């Protein structure tokens, strides 16, 4: 993006979410809904930072080599029970 601006192909004012998304190696691939980070590590380590903005995260204690079908099914059960708001704030007037 910086090279395109420097070359005059793009103005800095025109940089928006779509320009950034189209500049990533994952362009054309849908953003993840669920990110599973095994071993109990509660960090992403720069993994899909832009794409993960509305993803749900799951941090099981199980190590990757031991993450089998049962652990995956548990992750899906937890995910299915979440209230996904995609950036919206919860409505506190109903509480």
pTM, rounded to two decimals? 0.74
The per-residue pLDDT for 84 is: 85
The per-residue pLDDT for 24 is: 95
CA 61 to chain centre: 20
The per-residue pLDDT for 95 is: 52
**Residues of 82-93 as b/e, b for ≥16 C-beta within 10 angstroms?**
eeeeeeeeeeee
């Amino acid at each position: 993006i910086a090279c395109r601006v420097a070359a005059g192909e793009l103005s800095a004012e025109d940089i928006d979410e779509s320009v950034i998304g189209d500049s990533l190696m994952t362009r054309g691939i849908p953003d993840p809904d669920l990110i599973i980070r095994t071993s109990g590590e509660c960090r992403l380590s720069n993994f899909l930072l832009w794409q993960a903005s509305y993803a749900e995260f799951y941090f099981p204690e199980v190590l990757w080599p031991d993450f089998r079908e049962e652990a995956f099914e548990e992750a899906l059960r937890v995910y299915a029970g979440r209230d996904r708001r995609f950036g919206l704030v919860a409505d506190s007037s109903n509480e």
